[in-house]
Chains A and B, each alone.
Chain A
Amino acid sequence: MNERDLEIRQANKKALPKFIVTMVLCCLGGGVIGFLAAFFGADRLADVLKTAGVWFGWHLAPWLMAACAAASLAVSLPLYARARALADRWDGEDMDAYDRIDRQLTRNQKLNTFLLITGFFLLAASYTGSFSGGQKELSRLIGMAVAILAFFVLLFVQVRLSQKTVDLVKRLCPEKRGSVYELNFQSKWLDSCDEAERALIGQCAYKAYRAVNLACVILWGVFTVTALFLGTGLLPPLAVCILWGVSNGTYLRWAGKLSGIATVGGVSNP
């Protein structure tokens, strides 16, 4: 055995005890939770949770959706307007001013992403609440109509804001290419990014990939337990495993494809 093999073996040996302890603690924790759930009759929660879900979808979700649409109009648009005003005053030299514009746009983008994802969830919740049980009471239909209308308002505002934000960035950075209305916008935008921007995108994407992996493990655990005690069925864990597979499959496929290509970017300073 050479020196390098010995180093590798020693590194594994050093990390293994902590790994085993972590696995044992997780198994014990899962076992305790499962035992307590069975002991206290968690399966009776299924009906309670289903009723709560229907109530949420019927009474709350449509109005929360309307609130998201209102927030989009009342908060996102002014935030964009502020960034636009800063950009109009920018002399093209002041880097601190540019950083302020960038921070403003990033803040707005975070808010819009949160609102859009929440909107998708609330729309699904509204469907669940309005059409469960097959009853067509007027209040349910009104709730559904409010949810659909609010969703379209939210979607319209988000798309318009995305277009305006991209146009503003293109004004500040003339080398950028692509229109949000193009189907291949993301590819065109990436192609117009230089080495530093691609390095940044790569680092962010890797962190997102790791976060998705962790989230998938946790969700798989949660849905497996809920399938056992709350009768949620096979679909949730299947959906999680599909997402997990897509994420890892895509990463591994491109890692293989790109590993043969010489990298252009330099090493970043920490």
Chain B
Amino acid sequence: MFSAVISVTTTVIASTLPHFFRLPWWALAVIAVALSWRVGALLGHLKMPSRWARLALVATSTGTILLEFGSLLGKEPGVVLFSIMLTLKLFESSSVRDLRVVTVLCFFMMVTQFLFSQSLYLAFYLLITVLVATNSLTLLQRARFATLTQGEEADWRPREVPARLFTSTFSRRNLSLLLRTLPLALVLFVLFPRLSSPLWGLPSDAGPGRTGLADSMSPGSILQLFVDDSAAFRVTFHGRTPPESQLYWRGPVFWHFDGTTWHPNAEFGQQDALVTGTENLQTIDYEITLEPHQGHWIAGLDRPITRPDRFRLSADFQLWSPKKISATSLYSLSSVLQYQDSGPLPQRQRKIALEYPKGLNPLSERLMTEWRAEGLDDGAVLARLLNHFGSAPFAYSLEPPELSEQAVDDFFFLTRDGYCEHYASTFTAMARMAGIPARVVTGFQGAHHVPIGNYYLVRNSDAHAWSEVWLEDRGWVRVDPTAAVAPERVTHGAAAASGAGERWYESRWLLSFRDSMDSIQYLWKRWVVDYDKIRREDLLGELGISGGETARQILVVFFSTLLAIGVSVLGWMGWRTRKLHPLRAIYDRFLRKLQKRGIEICPSEGPLDLLCRLQTESPRLARNSALFLRTYAHARYGRAVTDRQWYILRQSLGRF
């Protein structure tokens, strides 16, 4: 019983541990104190807290949760409350029944982990926790059995904590049992039907929080992404792969400028793009696996010309999804690198693309007017602007000085120091001042090739902002002012361009290790976490099981699999443990041979008695079997079977 309580406490700790960084500090303190108290009470040093104390603790915890989170409903407050109450349940009583309930509730606790993360590491950890839980159940069953046979107080005295709690024989047996359930779980996982839409409502926060590109761009908004090395999406190219410097991934497009922040235009966002003139162009076909970011943007290579049915392509060639991206999404796209917009720029777009807060940045406005007065056309103006950026004193850095409200003037004339946001914003604003329609495009630039899985990885730290200008004979043209000032940004990433030095993770061996880990993560995500209805039907189709939606087919597949696995597991176990003691097995074979010769076998007869009987019934048989029976009697009832005896037994049996 003592070891059972220790084991159940360990199970509670194990199943709650991944929440360690998510629980508020006071909840962690409460849980730690409660668990230590429980162990202290078990050892006899402390008394169990009274019912009132526990109720008071629950009340204060609930109150604190309400204070901190505002309500009890929702993922985070629910998890905090559940973990505190699970820990306190350990105090309720020491009966086997209550401890069993606690152990089973630990399984629920594990499920709450999956609301926050479904990573591969968590899956391994889950198996360990299940193993600990099965150990607890074994100990509890033992304790109950002891209580049944020896009375209530059996085994209640504390012994030294069994150091072999986790290595004893039943622990090994539980481990082998757990390993044997994995094939069954795997088959069930692949074949079990999935729902295409939920049976009941989805709470709004049934998933991780929002990350990635934002709905607006202001200085500093992309900066926080530069330190996020997590994957934004992964790309598999079918056929031609463009060079890294041409990999611009299009995200949110911004039209409205208020002096510091850029905003999108809802109207253009809702309209559908008109894609024409792509017949003769060479397309790039690829597949993207997009990580969930709780937003609506969809990544696509500049410019996407096709879209999956469930997404929309807006008039400003931005891909977006009506539904929030809360799960990893897989989709195929085609893009062209050189796209020619046909026809004139619609009036509405031109008007908005030329808007800027007039008079806010007088110096820049005057400069543009001067350049126009020199007779420069659109292309020349832009070229000169880029030239300025590309030469001193403009520099690229991730820690530029702050800009005032007159952001354009400050940047162009004063600070001259910044990263892609600043350059894109300033460039677009000044182009507008020069009368050239322009807009800001954010997204990602570049990709990292992972040879193991043969895909390209785009991280959040590859976020980028650039500009698009409308030239009369060419339509919207991408211009990346950052490339002018820091070309290595485009080829080596933001941090490298800023001279921050090689990051620790970019050393060669670590890089390949990271690649392996990432491809494992990628495979895990693709085949386990995001194994949804569509994937399952594809897989079943490939396996030859026709994917009809009829319930009967599903049931047949399900139950036949269950049966097959069950029988095979049973059969293997049966074969393994049904083997008799080898001495007994040899004797059985001998008896069967006798039976074939017409001798009746009496189960209560020993070998020597059998020999006597044979001597009366059939002397010839008795002669042949005398050696065997005598040796067998010696071996069976003697101390240990020697090799010589084995030899004699086998030989005489063979000759019989």
Query: A and B: partners?
Result: no
Enumerate chain B interface residues (CB-CB to A < 8 A).
none
